[in-house]
Amino acid sequence: MTDSIMSKAATMEIPINSNGDTGSLQEDDSLEQAAKLQWSLDEKVGSSRDTRDLQQVMVSGPNLNETNIVSGGYGGTVEGIIPTSSITGSNMHHSSSSSSSMAAEQTTRGVAVEKLEYMKKWGFNTYKCTKQMISERFGRGSRTVDLEMEAQIEVLRDTKRKYENVLRLARALTNHFYNMVQTQHALGDTFADLSQKSPELRDEFGYNAETQKLLCKNGETLLGAINFFVSSINTLVNKTMEDTLTTIKMYENARLEFDAYRSDLDELNMGPRDAVTMARIDAAQQQYHVHREKYERLRSDVTIKLKFLEENKVKVMHKQLLLFHNAISAYFAGNQQQLEQTLKQFNIKLKPPGAEQPSWLEEQ
């Protein structure tokens, strides 16, 4: 009833006279009384409802787990209800994942910092060594010189070049002699075949075939001795000498680093002695002692390796040169027994004929 009255009052047209006063209406008093009645009723209902809500809150209290969050715009017809328990769980999961991601990020950052520090030290050391090398090349920088060791190193390098030439020539001799043995073998087979097909020259072809077969057999024996000689020289040059030269390269690099840090320390000692310079001098002295110990250790290693290399070289070459001489002399003298005895003396075992040739399955 009150709603219909209020709606009627809201939609009623109010005429205005010429003096600006509203006209007298028949329903003015009824409308005013209806408004007052509606206001009093609403005030009573609201006060009683507020009292009941306050009492319910005082007794039970709000339940946070059942609190609903309404999403959407004002006056929306759809409510997005999100329980607070699910919000708490998602927050915990997010915090654990964020902590793990932070730990991974810290680990990655630590590795990056370590690599950056290594590159910084490497660049600083390279700069000093390059500066020292240029100074030595143009005669402006001083270098540590060990005349005796440098003479031994130069002798070793010259010896290695000469032994490499011996190795190259010995391999060439092996290839040429192998081709000659293969030719003798083919020639012996041809003589043997012709002795069977030429009755009038059977004897002549026959003993030439035997001679070529004997030369082929002795040639294979000599090839075994030469191959052993080549293998031993190759081990001496490309393994033993090369290992010593690798240590020498490390020693030369250590010498360059030592001289670079020594020159740096000398320059600092010639400058002013303020607090900053003294701190730099202390750091330079520490680096100087570190590289000096490294240089002395590698110099000792080179001295020992040069000594053992010389002893090993004499021992190996004495045996190999004796083998090469006896085998070559016996072969060209036609002394088959002495040639075989030479191989037994040096414990050289020949491979059976055709052992190096692959089988037909390996050729597929």
Q: What is the pLDDT of residues 297-329, one digit of tens each?
A: 999 999 999 999 999 999 999 999 999 999 999
Q: Which two tokens stand for residue 233?
A: 């020289």
pLDDT digit string, tens, across residues 89-122 = 555 555 566 677 777 777 787 777 778 777 777 7
Percent of the chain with pLDDT over 70: 69
Higher pLDDT, 361 or 158: 158
In the chain, count H helices and then E strands: 9, 0
pLDDT at 131: 77
Q: Which range, 46-55, 150-159, 339-348, is most confident?
A: 150-159
Mean pLDDT lowest for which of 197-206, 233-242, 302-311? 197-206
> In this structure, what DSSP letter does residue 22 have?
B
Beta bridge partners of 16: 22
Higher-confidence residue of 293 and 88: namely: 293
359 phi and psi angles, rounded to 5 deg = -75, 170
Mapped onto helix, strand or coil, the DSSP state of residue 16 is strand
288 in any annotated domain? yes
Could you tell me if residue 210 is inside a domain? yes
**Residue for token pair 């910084």:** 120
Q: How far apart are CA 84 and CA 63, in angstroms?
A: 10
Which domain covers residue 326, as residue numbers? Answer: 148-348
The helix or strand, by DSSP H or E, that contains position 131, with its residue range, turns out to be: helix 84-137
Residue 314 lies in a domain: yes
Identify whether 266 is part of a domain: yes
CATH code of 288's domain: 1.20.1270.60
Q: Name the residue type at position 9.
A: A
Number of folded domains in the chain? 1
Question: What single-letter amino acid sits at 133?
Answer: M
Task: Give the residue from 179, 206, 182, 226 showing the smallest Cα distance to 330.
Answer: 226
For residue 9, pLDDT over 80 is answered with no
> In this model, does residue 145 exceed pLDDT 70?
yes
Asked if 107 and 113 touch (Cβ cutoff 8 Å), the reply is no
Highest mean pLDDT pick, 83-97, 120-134, 171-185, 282-296: 171-185
Q: Give me the pLDDT at residue 96, please.
A: 60
- Phi–psi pair at 141, nearest 5 degrees: -110, 155
305 belongs to a structural domain: yes
Model confidence, pTM: 0.62
In a domain, 135, yes or no: no
Q: If pLDDT is split at 50, 70 and 90, which confidence band does 33 have?
A: low
- The answer to the question of residue 192 being in a domain is yes
Nearest CA to 306 out of 233, 257, 251 is that of 251
pLDDT score of 205 more than 80: yes
Is there a domain that residue 138 lies in? Answer: no
Q: What is the pLDDT of residue 261?
A: 86
**Which tens digits make up the pLDDT trace of 63-91?**
444 444 444 443 444 444 444 444 445 55
